[in-house]
């Protein structure tokens, strides 16, 4: 059952991020002081309004694009870069391996949040900057997974036979190595999406994410915190979306890893 529910929930979240603003045809930036702090369930404002009278559901839908699509884009970039580095290092060995993997070790030694704060502070908060920062943070993780999996696959007889018979390097990597390491990479990608949402929301909460007034879940949590005592839903609603997205993609990643890891399967 979990194998069906988790991908379904993840798909719904992504679909909401893509089509949400179309399904909620309300301007998320439109202010109406007379309708400020409308409670959940108010006609025309399903999730109520904030301190400026802006529709919370519309802002959640727009913020989903920022959080989820940014996480997806940065994960795809990190996946591409990390796989290129890890596979090249494991297949080439020698000086190339030492140079590439020592560089990855240096990146892993830097606290990710500190690096994110530094880059965003220098370049300024924006969607491209956020995507680039997140991709930079998560590239080493993919490189490590691709490196370890490639070393394991490279030692198998069919790869050694292909090398002996003079198969082109590109053909071996694309046709034989990558298909055999794609499963753990997909599991890593799901976990990375969850981490990207967490870091992106954290930067938004600190005011280093997307520039206001464009809504983001982290920014909405920060804004709602000021009214926690009197209007707690302003903080709890976006916080619930953040937690739900992180838990869904984390659980999906763990499920994929369990399904494709022979050691996990053998322990059942």
Domain that holds residue 132: 65-266
Work out the burial of residue 61: count CB atoms within 10 Å of its CB; fewer than 13 is exposed, 13-18 middle, 19 or more buried. Answer: buried
Q: What is the mean pLDDT of residues 198-222?
A: 85
Domain assignment of residue 37, yes or no: no
Question: What phi and psi values does residue 121 have, to the nearest 5 degrees?
Answer: -65, -35
* pLDDT value at residue 161: 84
Which of 80, 101, 98, 99 lies closest to 147, judged by CA? 101
Q: What is the mean pLDDT of residues 24-36?
A: 87
Domain assignment of residue 19, yes or no: no
Question: Would the pLDDT of 210 be above 90?
Answer: no
Question: Would the pLDDT of 78 be above 90?
Answer: yes
The most confident of the ranges 87-96, 202-211, 259-268 is 87-96
Domain assignment of residue 5, yes or no: no
Q: Band the pLDDT of 260: cuts 50, 70, 90.
A: low
If one compares 69 and 3, the residue with the highest pLDDT of the two is 69
- Between the alpha carbon of residue 51 and those of residues 18, 150, 240, the distances in Å are 26, 53, 19
- Give the CATH number, domain containing residue 132: 1.10.3720.10
Q: What is the pTM of this model?
A: 0.86
Question: Would the pLDDT of 43 be above 60?
Answer: yes
Q: Annotate 64-92 with b (16+ C-beta within 10 A) or e (fewer).
A: bbbbbebbbbbbebbbebbbbbbbbbbbe
DSSP 195-259: HHHHHHHHHHHTT-SSPTTS--HHHHHHHHHTTTTT-THHHHHHHHHHHHHHHHHHHHHHHHHHH
Domain assignment of residue 29, yes or no: no
* Distance between CA atoms of residues 108 and 137, nearest Å: 8
Q: Across the chain, what does the average pLDDT equal?
A: 85
* Distance between CA atoms of residues 71 and 195, nearest Å: 8
Domain assignment of residue 220, yes or no: yes
* Rg, Å, the chain Cα set: 22
Q: What is the mean pLDDT of residues 46-64?
A: 91
pLDDT tens digit string along 110-127? 877 787 778 877 887 788
Domain count, the chain: 1
24 and 57 in contact (C-beta within 8 Å)?
A: yes
Q: Band the pLDDT of 189: cuts 50, 70, 90.
A: very high
Q: What is the mean pLDDT of residues 206-233?
A: 87
pLDDT tens digit string along 139-162? 999 999 999 999 888 888 888 788
* pLDDT value at residue 263: 44
Which of 34, 64, 67 lies closest to 49, judged by CA? 34
3-12, 155-164, 191-200, 223-232: range with lowest mean pLDDT: 3-12
Domain assignment of residue 163, yes or no: yes
* pLDDT value at residue 77: 96
Q: Band the pLDDT of 10: cuts 50, 70, 90.
A: confident
Domain assignment of residue 27, yes or no: no
Which of 67, 38, 66 lies closest to 52, judged by CA? 38
Domain assignment of residue 34, yes or no: no
């Amino acid at each position: 059952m979990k194998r069906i529910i988790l991908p379904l929930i993840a798909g719904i979240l992504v679909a909401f991020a893509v089509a949400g603003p179309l399904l909620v045809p309300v301007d998320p930036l439109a202010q109406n002081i007379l309708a400020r702090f409308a409670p959940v369930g108010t006609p025309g404002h399903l999730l109520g309004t904030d301190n400026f009278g802006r529709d919370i559901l519309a802002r959640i839908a727009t913020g989903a694009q920022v959080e989820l699509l940014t996480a997806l884009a940065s994960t795809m970039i990190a996946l591409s870069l990390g796989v290129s580095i890890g596979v090249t290092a494991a297949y080439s060995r020698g000086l190339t391996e030492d140079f590439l993997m020592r560089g990855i070790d240096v990146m892993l030694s830097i606290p990710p949040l500190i690096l994110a704060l530094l880059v965003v502070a220098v370049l300024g908060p924006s969607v491209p900057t956020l995507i680039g920062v997140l991709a930079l943070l998560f590239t080493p993780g993919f490189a490590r997974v691709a490196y370890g999996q490639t070393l394991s696959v490279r030692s198998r007889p069919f790869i050694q036979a292909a090398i002996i018979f003079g198969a082109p390097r590109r053909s071996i990597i694309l046709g034989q190595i990558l298909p055999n390491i794609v499963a753990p990479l997909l599991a890593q990608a799901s976990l990375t999406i969850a981490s990207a949402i967490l870091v992106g929301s954290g930067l938004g909460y600190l005011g280093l994410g997307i520039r206001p007034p464009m809504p983001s879940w982290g920014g909405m949590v920060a804004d709602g915190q000021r009214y926690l005592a009197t209007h707690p839903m302003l903080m709890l609603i976006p916080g619930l979306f953040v937690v739900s997205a992180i838990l869904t993609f984390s659980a999906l990643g763990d499920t994929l890893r369990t399904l494709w890891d022979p050691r996990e399967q053998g322990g059942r």
